[in-house]
Amino acid sequence: MTETGTSRLDDYLDVFIAPSSLFRRRADGKFGQALVVFVVLLTLLFFATKTAMQPVMDAEFQRGMAAAMKANPSLTAEQMETGRKFFSTFGAIFLIAGMPIAIFILGGVIWVTARIVGGSLSYSQGAVIATFSMFPRLLDMVSGAVQALLMDESTLNGRYRVSLGLGRLLDPDTANPVLVALLGRVDVFTIWITVLVALGLKVLAKVSTAQAAAGAAIVWVIGGLPAILQALRAG
């Protein structure tokens, strides 16, 4: 039990049903346990859904290799096969090890954004918001895997094809990659995460609803930059 008489289990329930209460309770800036729990669950779900999501991962890899060959025509088939084997062997490691780093970076972005919109919070409080706001991504993984199992495998040619957003409406093999990346951000789970960021800013940075919404919008834009920059290179 915590000092407030609630168990840590309440944190993982409240992130879905009462996030404002969660953020008030975690104003102490403690996020380490939640980060470990998230990474463990992410790892379990990755391997549990790997078979269902394999066609999507293969399609994304092939598209990435095609873009690499376009940028560097000297790449050989042997080099591409080596890259495929490396991705198959170490892709999970990079995903799992990279997620804590991504959350630490997101915590910093939220920390800076709070100041931009007129609030103030510590870095650890920003990391609290970042960590708990990512929990809906676990449901996103389950949703994507269920859809992949039910859909025709020939349509699983991109990660947004199993999203719950506008990105699934575009064929990634023919559509403008920047447009795909932009519409891919208009997604149920991405919006859910953004709303949690807004609630965290409102509670912990003590800003108005409008300021919190503006801050969350900034975080949403920054969060989409890596995919957009990758799309620009691919285009």
Task: Determine the pLDDT at residue 135.
Answer: 97
Q: CA angle at residue 100 from 88 to 43, to 5 degrees?
A: 45
Query: What is the DSSP track for the chain?
Result: --TTS--THHHHHHHHH-HHHHHHHTTT---HHHHHHHHHHHHHHHHHHHHHHHHHHHHHHHHHHHHHHHH-TT--HHHHHHHHHHHHHHHHHHHHHHHHHHHHHHHHHHHHHHHHTT----HHHHHHHHHHHTTHHHHHHHHHHHHHHHS-GGG--SGGGGSSBGGGGS-TTTS-HHHHHHHHTSBHHHHHHHHHHHHHHHHHS---HHHHHHHHHHHHHHHHHHHHHHHHHH-
Per-run averaged pLDDT (10 residues), the chain, 235 residues: 61 94 94 95 94 90 75 71 72 84 96 96 97 97 96 91 94 90 95 98 97 97 90 72
In the numeric block, the tokens 């789970």 are attached to: 189
Task: Determine the pLDDT at residue 83.
Answer: 72
Nearest to 51 by CA among 165, 171, 156, 131: 156
Task: Determine the pLDDT at residue 235.
Answer: 60
With 0-12 / 13-18 / 19 or more C-beta atoms within 10 angstroms meaning exposed / middle / buried, residue 57 is middle
Task: Determine the pLDDT at residue 104.
Answer: 96
How far apart, in whole angstroms, are the C-alpha atoms of residue 95 and residue 121? 29
Task: Determine the pLDDT at residue 142.
Answer: 97
Nearest to 143 by CA among 168, 163, 165: 163
Task: Determine the pLDDT at residue 65.
Answer: 76
Residue 14 pairs in a beta bridge with: none
